[in-house]
Structure 1
Amino acid sequence: MAKQTDTRTRIMDIAEAAVLSKGFDATSIEEIVAGAEITKGGFFYHFPDKNALAHALIERHIEVENELFDGLWSRARELSDDPLHTTLIGLRLLAELLEDMPNGHPGCIVATAAYQDRLFDQEVRQANRRAVLAWRRRFQDVFDELCATYPPRDDVDTEALADMIGTVIEGGIVMGKALGEPHMIVGQILLLRQFIRQTFEPRL
């Protein structure tokens, strides 16, 4: 059983690296099979087709992202129980995490699948939507808690502000790749952090 799990994980790791490098469409089952050193039958034992593989990659992405943000915000709450300070610390920790990646963020499976959504069935598209909505719910909860203690200086749609987190991160990844500046995302997150501070910090 462990060997089967290892093979499935290896297939997903190889596929994810290829997909983030060149997209789902340009990633063939043949190259994944060759990279994993298995037969096509071995691939199809774990994944009936590329839709099944894409679905598995997105589900794994959701789990990894949840663990990452749970960890960052848990650490932030250890450092402060104030909701504004916790949010600012969490964003700072996220920026530091991304800055520590020597070649920048490798890319996002969810964004890649969204760009090529016509390749996939409804199940994959729904999984991708669920991944995006998970980000929205997570950060909307953060901002709703923040508003309860620190009324914003202007009217704020917390759902739109939550979506702004994802927009800044995904946009930073894309811009960094386009410009060959892999760490520009760090500056974008810190600017977002400054905006949140200015929006919620009480006037003196």
Structure 2
Amino acid sequence: MTKAAGRGEQTRTRIMDIAQDAILVKGFDATSIEEIVAEAEITKGGFFYHFPDKNALARALIERHIEVEDRIFDDLWARARELSDDPLHATLIGLRLLAEMLGDMPNGHPGCIVATAAYQERLFDAEVREMNRRAVLGWRARFRAIFEEIARSYPPREPVDLDALADMVNTVVEGGLVMSRALGEPKMIVGQILLLRTFVKLVFLPPSH
């Protein structure tokens, strides 16, 4: 990579970091290109070189968010599987590790770009909306596979829609973030994830355990 290319990538990353911080606080609608340009100390032309419009910026932010989230879940569940080969117990460990990770954030989780874009989807083109949809379906597929593996060893105690259960993970995390912010209680999400962990245990673990 040339020095010019390296500087260009640094500028692109800085624009995205500034935009993300502002968007998670105020939303896409209230975040202007002008304020991003001012904080990044670049020209409007510099911004448009990297992102022709807000849709392009949204696509880049969503793509990066998905990559970060995937790495986090890959890492947490890899650590969980190192501690237990049993799919249920590994998942219970993974959920506890997730709760601990979020609990270690002193000011709470900053929020989710995917959720923020969903709240204001009227601002975006069809490509951004479809990208957001694929992100949510990707998380569903991830946890559906986890619960399918558990169900092969631990048949659910009651009939359960595994897609709905997979969606519940994202629902609890995103809902917990909203509630934490609304109440000004950053640690509240920890309790929500641990409650989800208890629910998963009750769904799959036989009474004798």
Q: TM-score, normalization: structure 1? A: 0.99
Rounded to whole Å, the distance in 2 between the matches of 1:66 and 1:171 is: 19
Rounded to whole Å, the distance in 1 between the matches of 2:129 and 2:207 is: 44
Residue 126 (1) aligns with residue 130 (2): yes
Residue 73 (1) aligns with residue 38 (2): no
Rounded to whole Å, the distance in 2 between the matches of 1:78 and 1:5 is: 36
Residue 115 (1) aligns with residue 119 (2): yes
Match of 2:21 among 17, 21, 27: 17
Following TM superposition, by how much is the alpha carbon of 1:122 offset from its aligned partner in structure 2, in angstroms?
A: 0.4
Following TM superposition, by how much is the alpha carbon of 1:202 offset from its aligned partner in structure 2, in angstroms?
A: 1.4
Residue 152 (1) aligns with residue 156 (2): yes
Identical-pair percentage: 74
Match of 1:91 among 95, 117, 122: 95
What is the aligned partner in structure 1 of residue 201 from structure 2?
Answer: 197
**Residue type of the partner of 2:188?**
M
What is the aligned partner in structure 2 of residue 100 from structure 1?
Answer: 104
Rounded to whole Å, the distance in 2 between the matches of 1:132 and 1:199 is: 23
**Residue type of the partner of 1:33?**
V
Following TM superposition, by how much is the alpha carbon of 1:203 offset from its aligned partner in structure 2, in angstroms?
A: 1.9
Match of 1:47 among 38, 41, 51: 51
What is the aligned partner in structure 2 of residue 35 from structure 1?
Answer: 39
Match of 2:64 among 60, 64, 68: 60
Rounded to whole Å, the distance in 1 between the matches of 2:72 and 2:42 is: 31
Following TM superposition, by how much is the alpha carbon of 1:85 offset from its aligned partner in structure 2, in angstroms?
A: 0.5
**Residue type of the partner of 1:59?**
E
Match of 2:166 among 162, 172, 180: 162
What is the aligned partner in structure 2 of residue 6 from structure 1?
Answer: 10
Aligned length: 204
**Residue type of the partner of 2:78?**
S
Q: TM-score, normalization: structure 2? A: 0.97
Following TM superposition, by how much is the alpha carbon of 1:11 offset from its aligned partner in structure 2, in angstroms?
A: 0.2
Rounded to whole Å, the distance in 2 between the matches of 1:142 and 1:187 is: 22
Following TM superposition, by how much is the alpha carbon of 1:183 offset from its aligned partner in structure 2, in angstroms?
A: 1.2
**Residue type of the partner of 1:94?**
L
Rounded to whole Å, the distance in 2 between the matches of 1:22 and 1:105 is: 15
User: CA RMSD of the aligned region, Å?
Assistant: 0.5
Following TM superposition, by how much is the alpha carbon of 1:114 offset from its aligned partner in structure 2, in angstroms?
A: 0.3
Give CA deviations for 1:126-179 in whole Å, capped at 9, x if unaligned: 111111111100000000000000011001111000000010000000011111
Stretches of structure 1 lacking an aligned partner (at least 5 in a row):
none
What is the aligned partner in structure 2 of residue 140 from structure 1?
Answer: 144
